[in-house]
Amino acid sequence: MQEQEIEDRLRIMGNFFDLDALLEARTDPEDVGRYYRLSDFAYRLFMGRTIHMGLSDDGFYHKEDLLKPAQFVERYIGTEPMNILEVGAGRIGNTRYLAKRHPEQHFTALDLPGRGFLKNRAPRNVKLVEGDYSDLSLFPENSFDLVYGVETICYAHSKERVIAECSKVLKPGGWLVIFDGYNTKPQEQMTEFERRFTSIACAGMRVTTKDQYIGNIPLYLEKHGFGDIEICDVTQQIRPTLRRLDRVACYAFMHPRFLRFCQRHFAPDVMINAVSGWLMLFTVDGHLQEYDRIVARKK
Ligand SMILES: C[S@@+](CC[C@H](N)C(=O)[O-])C[C@H]1O[C@@H](n2cnc3c(N)ncnc32)[C@H](O)[C@@H]1O
């Protein structure tokens, strides 16, 4: 673990952001919705329509790598009519891609109220719905053939609750697909230093530190009626994106006038995710966090 380098970065970040206050920041759905509304500008600038890691196969970042999660989900879309739900769909990059390629299928995309989700322009076969994936009672039980979420369930304070909700709305035999980052060990087993900097890395994106241990996920899936569970660590594939984000964040912190200009003219927190961008490589290099592709089938 490159503790000195991490300490140096934290010190530089501290010139722009109050990191202790950041650690105290709330991560309830309203706070997350507000964060995305305010930082939409920065995400659009650096990531386009998709707000997630690219999956790279050759060690280099290519723009097309951002489509890979949706291309993986596509394996579960057949030719018979299907009802498909994306939870935490953001700027609907994944759903838009899939809906255009499968005009005969019916897609629903869900995201939080308060983040401007309904402003998205959706293809004809996509229905946009505002709501919280921790309560999917707005959909009938057993109504979807496929539910998926890309880098969104990390926001849930209780992953078990979201998995239970997804199970309720899935038809028996339906598939759940998740791409997300997780902690490799429970927080209590981290050193004080590890806990602090992984927590700051999460907080920069308003991601909760609660219930992030990957070891719990198969237990939740089994408990809520899933079988054929496959958890695949694909951390290696996101490294090129992480390196790119690291460079972008480094640019921001090395150009204080640019960062202060954005803070003054957009919102104080508009570049807060640069904090995460500048730390995430260390969380995976230090094997504290990993990135997983999770697939499970409702029995
Ligand atoms: C990192 S973005 C990913 C967006 C999209 N999945 C993608 O791959 O481009 C996380 C998204 O999850 C949404 N989100 C967070 N908590 C949520 C919740 N409780 N219910 C629904 N959506 C949520 C956020 O509003 C945000 O749009």
**Each residue's pLDDT tens digit, 6-37:** 999 999 999 999 999 999 999 999 999 998 98
Q: Evaluate: CB of 155 within 6 angstroms of ligand 1.
A: yes
Structural domain harbouring 138: 3-298
> In angstroms, what is the span from residue 52 Cα to ligand 1's centroid?
10
* pLDDT surpassing 80 at residue 44: no
* pLDDT surpassing 90 at residue 268: no
- Indicate the pTM of the whole model: 0.96
Per-residue pLDDT, 39: 80
92: CATH? 3.40.50.150
> In angstroms, what is the span from residue 89 Cα to ligand 1's centroid?
6
Percent of the chain whose pLDDT exceeds 70? 99
> In angstroms, what is the span from residue 117 Cα to ligand 1's centroid?
10
Q: Which residues contact 183 (CB under 8 A, 6 or more apart)?
A: 190, 198, 212, 213, 214, 288, 289
> In angstroms, what is the span from residue 136 Cα to ligand 1's centroid?
14
**Each residue's pLDDT tens digit, 229-252:** 999 999 999 999 999 999 989 998
**Each residue's pLDDT tens digit, 147-179:** 999 999 999 999 999 999 999 999 999 999 999
The predicted model gives 292-299 an average pLDDT of 98
**Each residue's pLDDT tens digit, 60-108:** 999 999 999 999 999 999 999 999 999 999 999 999 999 999 999 999 9
For the chain, give the number of residues: 299
> In angstroms, what is the span from residue 154 Cα to ligand 1's centroid?
9
Pocket perturbation via mutation, ligand 1, pick of 27, 32, 272 by most ligand atoms within 8 A of CB: 32
Instruction: Give the chain's mean pLDDT.
Output: 94
Q: In whole angstroms, what is the distance from residue 147 CA to residue 174 CA?
A: 8
Tokens 């989700």: give the residue.
Answer: 117
Question: Looking at ligand 1, which atom is closest to the CA of residue 149?
Answer: 6
* pLDDT surpassing 90 at residue 139: yes
Q: Evaluate: CB of 29 within 6 angstroms of ligand 1.
A: yes
Considering only CA atoms, which of 45, 37, 179, 205 is closest in space to residue 120?
A: 37
Per-residue pLDDT, 45: 74
- Number of domains observed in the structure of the chain: 1
Per-residue pLDDT, 261: 85
> In angstroms, what is the span from residue 21 Cα to ligand 1's centroid?
23
> In angstroms, what is the span from residue 2 Cα to ligand 1's centroid?
31
Considering only CA atoms, which of 180, 130, 190, 131 is closest in space to residue 159?
A: 180
Widest distance between CA atoms in the chain: 56
Q: Evaluate: CB of 89 within 6 angstroms of ligand 1.
A: yes
The predicted model gives 246-263 an average pLDDT of 88
Q: Evaluate: CB of 40 within 6 angstroms of ligand 1.
A: no
Give the closest residue (by CA) to ligand 1 atom 20.
132
> In angstroms, what is the span from residue 208 Cα to ligand 1's centroid?
13
Question: Looking at ligand 1, which atom is closest to the CA of residue 90?
Answer: 27
Band (42; pLDDT cuts 50, 70, 90): confident
Q: Evaluate: CB of 31 within 6 angstroms of ligand 1.
A: no
Pocket perturbation via mutation, ligand 1, pick of 84, 152, 165, 280 by most ligand atoms within 8 A of CB: 152
Band (1; pLDDT cuts 50, 70, 90): low
